[in-house]
Amino acid sequence: MLKVGLTGGIGSGKSAVSAELAAYGATVIDADALAREVVEPGTPGLDAVVAEFGEKVLTPDGRLDRPRLGEIVFADEDSLARLNAIVHPLVGERGDQLMEEAVASGVEVMVYDVPLLVENGLGPLYDVVVVVDAPDEVRVERVSVNRGMPREQVRDRIRAQVDRETRLAAADLVVDNSGTREQLGDRVAQLWRELLKRAR
């Protein structure tokens, strides 16, 4: 089984690429989805986040208020490090569990969708690192249009992540997503053929 680490900065189109790879038959483990799962109401993860940051990071119905927490951690590196120290080990455990299930089911290509793969030095955990890439201004435009996030907030998030050059330097394969959705589809088809070749 080929273990693929898929990464890209905010607004790069990484989620679109992982969705297409899943449609081709890859098993995709989404670290962001796991990060949400491990802080659902009633989990030890949510209890730990509240113990660290206070009740102010909860919505009235007791769920994690992501925008509120984001305002706190993306404005302060120390807060972000404290949040990551809580969430990352829990995500790792859940990911390991899912990976074992995939291995048992005989999957050929396992894609681990990890936003902070480069920042956290996780490249060596994978057989292949794939970076989805687009210029910063394209990403700012995409996120502000698609998610309604103010451009300056998007730029803050981009600055909180590793720079584009460092991310590209960590790549074995790069998917250029500076163009249209159709162009991306063609590039993912090429990527899938390459991953299957390496898996076999």
Whose CA is closest to 164, among 136, 142, 140, 192? 136
Residue 149 three-state SS: coil
pLDDT tens-place string over residues 47-91? 999 999 999 999 999 999 999 999 999 889 999 999 999 998 999
* CATH number 3.40.50.300 is the correct assignment for the domain at 1-26+109-200: yes
pTM of the model: 0.77
Q: Please provide the distance, in angstroms rounded to a whole number, between the alpha carbons at the two ends of the chain.
A: 8
Domain limits, the chain: 1-26+109-200, 41-106
Average pLDDT, the chain: 94
